[in-house]
Structure formats: structure tokens, C-alpha cells
């Protein structure tokens, strides 16, 4: 099938065609797919947090809530690699079992390690594709252990950070920079001891709303959905511009890091034949192949 045929089939509801297209946007044929798409926009919710915090369980519950409203929802599990999911989507499939056979829900893992410039390059393309395929809402799950949550925060709105009750969780999250990217903080597994204390500790560390949730039971889900809605209602031109800016910077950084001239220039600076200022300018002077 040609790309246009795949797009038509995916629009008609073929999740297999949508899957093929998602694979293509992760491949060197990304630009061909992007060129064939009509412009469209979708809401993107980012869900991040430490391994095993209950991100997938929360995403599964959110999908249920949005399906009740009749929205078409796509879930991107970005680089599932934590010890809990074992790097496989199997665990996520179990947690989202209620939605596996729903033709209006697409669940997909995006591998971003090692090729084509990582998350920052792969996810915006996947989001553009899914929006053009008439998904109303895209939920992206990333494990917050490094760079990925910063990149997802540039794309998503809101970014929901999921933590658990427990001594030190709030402090650790603050240290890890997770609270900096949060638009909403969720203390999941609130059926466990210490949830109120953790929520209080977190409120001392952040000005964004802190909610309690038992994702496994759906307790607190309505409040989370309302908080996400409130965040959307409060969106402004300035905030959209700030996100666009963060996305551009993130993509530009990826392009520069993968610049074909970077290694040669680095060697030349190391050997004293070039200075880093001139080398930096040269990086911008030579066009990059995306």
C-alpha cells in the first residue's frame, strides 16, 4: 500500500494501517508521511513518573474516562524500559485490557533509543500523524528517569507527574527535577499509608495542584479529569507559544547533537586546529539532514 492508501485506510478505522504509519514515522521515511498529512491538532496529555508508580494504570483509567465522552484516544508508551514493564508493552496491555478491542483506542509503544534523534524527534511526528488520523486525544507515557520527561513536557499539556506515598518521595521528585515539569502532581496508590503526608510534603515543594488517586480502583479519577480539563481551559496564547518554543529548541538540539560534522569539529577543537566558538558557528553553517 502507498502512504496515501495507508492514510485513507487508517482514517477508515484500520488500526493496522495506523500502526504501519506509526512505524513509518519512526523510520527514515518520516518526512514522506508528514508531507502527506493534512494539518490537524489534538490534545496531548503527558504522564510521567518513576518506574512502577502506576502510570499505565492511570493512563488506562483516563482512556476509559475519555472514551465515555466519545473521544478517540491514542496512547503512546514511550520507550517502556523500566523494570516493571520489562521493556515490553505486555504489562501495559494488561493494564489497558479494557480498551484493547476498542477500535477508537490505539495503544502503541514508541522506541526512541538509538535512532533518528530520540524522543524529541520521534514523538512530535507521531503526534502530528495521530492528529491527522482524527485522534482527539493523545496520552504519552514516559518513565521519568532522565531527559524524556523534559522532552515530553515540551510537547504535552498538561504534564501529569505520578508519585506514590512514602517518606522522601516528594523530596526525591523535587531533586530529580520531576516537579519542575509538572502541571499536575498525582499521589497514586493513595490506598497505601502516608498519602496525605506525601501530598502535604509535595504542596510545600510545588505550586501546581496535587491530587490523590487510587488508579487501580478509579478513586479520584473524576477529580483528575476535571483538573486536566481546568488546565486546558486555562491555556493561553503565551503558553502555546512557550510550548512551541520548547519544542523547537528540543528538536534543534537533537539535530545539532546528530550533526554529521560534530565529530570532525570536536576532533579539530581537541587538536587545537579550531576554537569551540568557530566550531559552534560552523555547525549552523552546514545544513543537517534530519
Ligand X SMILES: Nc1nc2c(ncn2[C@@H]2O[C@H](COP(=O)(O)OP(=O)(O)OP(=O)(O)O)[C@@H](O)[C@H]2O)c(=O)[nH]1
DSSP category for residue 260:
T
The residue (of 93 and 203) whose beta carbon lies closer to ligand X is 93
Q: Is 255:288 a contact under the CB 8 Å cutoff?
A: yes
> What region does 166 belong to: left with phi over 0, alpha with psi -120 to 50, or beta?
left
Number of residues that bind Mg ion (CB under 5 A): 3
Contact call for residue 144 and ligand X (CB under 6 A): no
Check binding of 81 to Mg ion (CB under 5 A).
no
Q: What's the angle, vertex CA 230, arms to CA 228 and CA 235, rounded to 5?
A: 95
Q: Are 116 and 255 in contact (CB under 8 A)?
A: no
Using the rule CB under 6 A, which residue among 82, 148, 198, 250 binds ligand X? 82
Which residue has its beta carbon closest to Mg ion? 56
* From 91, 118, 144, 165, residue interacting with ligand X (rule: CB under 6 A): 91
> Which of 6-14, 51-59, 196-204, 242-250 is the region at the interface with ligand X (rule: CB under 6 A)?
51-59
CB of 27 to ligand X, least distance (A): 25
Question: Which of ligand X, Mg ion, none does residue 95 bind (CB under 5 to 8 Å by kind)?
Answer: ligand X
Query: 24 or 122: whose CB is closer to Mg ion?
Result: 122
Contact flag: residue 105 with ligand X (CB under 6 A): no
For residue 158, say if its preceding peptide bond is cis, omega within 30 degrees of 0.
yes
Residue 7 or 170: the one with the smaller Cβ distance to ligand X is: 170
Q: Grid coordinates standing for 208? A: 501546581
- The residue whose Cβ lies closest to ligand X is 84
Q: How many CB atoms lie within 10 A of CB 41?
A: 10
What does the block give as the cell for 267? 576532533
CA pair distance 278, 116, nearest whole angstrom: 26
Which of 24, 160 has the CB closer to ligand X?
A: 160
How do 159-163 and 137-143 pair as beta strands? unpaired
Give the footprint of ligand X on this chain (CB under 6 A): 51-57, 80, 82, 84-85, 91, 95, 143, 188-189, 191-192, 214-216
Amino acid at each position: 500500500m502507498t502512504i496515501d492508501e495507508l492514510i485513507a485506510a487508517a482514517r477508515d478505522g484500520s488500526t493496522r494501517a495506523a500502526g504501519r504509519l506509526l512505524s513509518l514515522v519512526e523510520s527514515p521515511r518520516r518526512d514522506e508521511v508528514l508531507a502527506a498529512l493534512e494539518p490537524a491538532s489534538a490534545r496531548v496529555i503527558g504522564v510521567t513518573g518513576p518506574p512502577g508508580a502506576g502510570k499505565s494504570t492511570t493512563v488506562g483509567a483516563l482512556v476509559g474516562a475519555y472514551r465515555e465522552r466519545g473521544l478517540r484516544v491514542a496512547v503512546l508508551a514511550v520507550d517502556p524500559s523500566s523494570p516493571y514493564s520489562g521493556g515490553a508493552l505486555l504489562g501495559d496491555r494488561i493494564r489497558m485490557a479494557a480498551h484493547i478491542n476498542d477500535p477508537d483506542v490505539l495503544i502503541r509503544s514508541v522506541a526512541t533509543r538509538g535512532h533518528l534523534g530520540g524522543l524529541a524527534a520521534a514523538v512530535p511526528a507521531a503526534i502530528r500523524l495521530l492528529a491527522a488520523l482524527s485522534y482527539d486525544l493523545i496520552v504519552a507515557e514516559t518513565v521519568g528517569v532522565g531527559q524524556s520527561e523534559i522532552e515530553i513536557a515540551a510537547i504535552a499539556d498538561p504534564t501529569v507527574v505520578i508519585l506514590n506515598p512514602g517518606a522522601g518521595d516528594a523530596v526525591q521528585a523535587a531533586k530529580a527535577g520531576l516537579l519542575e515539569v509538572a502541571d499536575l502532581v498525582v499521589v497514586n496508590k493513595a490506598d497505601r499509608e502516608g498519602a496525605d503526608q506525601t501530598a502535604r510534603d509535595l504542596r510545600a515543594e510545588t505550586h501546581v495542584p496535587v491530587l490523590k488517586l487510587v488508579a487501580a480502583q478509579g478513586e479520584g479519577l473524576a477529580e483528575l479529569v476535571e483538573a486536566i480539563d481546568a488546565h486546558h481551559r486555562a491555556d493561553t496564547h503565551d503558553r502555546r507559544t512557550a510550548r512551541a518554543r520548547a519544542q523547537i529548541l528540543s528538536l534543534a538540539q537533537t539535530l545539532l547533537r546528530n550533526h554529521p560534522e560534530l565529530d570532525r569539529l570536536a576532533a579539530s577543537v581537541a587538536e587545537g586546529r579550531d576554537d569551540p566558538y568557530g566550531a559552534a558557528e560552523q555547525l549552523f553553517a552546514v545544513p543537517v539532514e534530519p
